[in-house]
Chains A and B, each alone.
Chain A
Amino acid sequence: MRQFARVGITLSLIAAVAATALALVNAVTAPKIAAYELQVIQNALVEVSGGFEIADSREETQESGVLEVHTLLDPDGEVAGYILQLNGAGYGGAMTIMAGYRANGEVIDARLLANSETPGLGKKAESASYMEKFQGTGGDTPVPVKRDQLEKSDADSVSGSTVTFTGVARTIALGSDYVKQLGGE
């Protein structure tokens, strides 16, 4: 019986000390982490806004693949478009994409946020220049979702990471359709 008590007490003491240490470290790091995450989102929002004002309102949706909707306003206060935070699937699993659209569904710009793509291949989609091939599509011309819909130089740039490209493109196209359905109200 005494042996049991000793084992139990030792183990709980170790766990208690560990938990206290973790609580202390968490108190220091948690605000920094939250600030960093917010900064990443804010930067991406500004980058894909195309110079329009981002309205304060932010909606979370139940729509599959669309996480959040931010409204973009032109200087007159009219709805100019939307920024969507989208969920897609790439080569390395789930990825988050932030994309700005005009009210007719045309892509302003997009950014790949959290992802687990392969460095040197799919990870290249994180760069701003990667998204240039989607700019201006989604309105009159469809979002390119297959390699053969791309210009030669763009098609070459996604070779070796076709799955990532398809994942990004389909997600952006889904967002475009979602924006069209919102209809700029």
Chain B
Amino acid sequence: MANERKQVLTRGIFKENPVFILMLGLCPTLGVTTQVINGLGMGAAVIFVLVFSNIFVSLLKNIIPNSVRIPSYIVIIAAFVTIVEMVMHAFAPAIYESLGIFLPLIVVNCIILGRAEAFANKNSLTDSFLDAIGMGVGFTLAVTLIALIREVFGAGTITLIPMGSFSGVLEIPLLYTYPVRIFSLAAGALLLMGYLKAFFEWTANRKRG
């Protein structure tokens, strides 16, 4: 049983990674990954929404009539997304501005509705919570990885949170002067996504033997 629980938690990170394996939530993945801080911010927002929507969907699974389950999930998800949006706007305005339209669009992020429909409405509260954490962390790692590669090559910088005397931006000597511009553009995001997908497929296949 404990082993099964661990499975629920960890499979979202690699084996069923929402971005690289399930191919869900690609729109924000490609859209916001121009700076590392955006990847982290988006990841945090998705984890928050995913955890709470999974919890509430799981709690209400016997109360919500089957015929209106999707509208109910959407209302629950939209409420949490709006909360994230307002809180970020008030307390982290810089991230709020750079995430732009992709923040409210978490409402229609397939990962969240997908987990509500495929997992949380059939499973217990604890399992739904673990599933949300696993999938959320998997998504965060994926977008942060893509953002790191794109920002390092495309702009020659790594943008993190400014703290004290640290401005939040690390500059990489050679790449800052001669960046590979294509990585910061949409086409570069698609190319990179393709390579990473191929890499993950390759490692997954190699394990299976």
Contacts and interface: CB of A to CB of B under 8 A. Distances in A.
Same assembly: yes
Interface of A: 3, 6-7, 10-11, 14-15, 18-19, 21-22, 25-26, 28-30, 32-33, 36, 114, 116, 118-121, 160
B155 interface: yes
Chain B's interface size range is 20 to 34
B79 interface: yes
A91 to B, nearest CB: 11
11 contacts: A3-B65, A10-B72, A18-B76, A18-B79, A22-B82, A25-B83, A118-B34, A119-B34, A119-B155, A120-B34, A120-B184
Interface in B38-62: 60
Contact of A160 (B64, B67, B181): B181
Contacts of B100: 116
A25 B72 contact: no
Contacts of A19: 79
B65 A6 contact: yes
Interface of B: 34-35, 60, 63-65, 67-68, 71-72, 75-76, 78-79, 82-83, 86-87, 89-91, 93, 97-98, 100, 151, 154-155, 157, 179, 181, 184-185
A95 to B, nearest CB: 12
Nearest to A8: B68
* Residue picked from B90, B91, B184, most chain A C-beta under 10 Å: B90
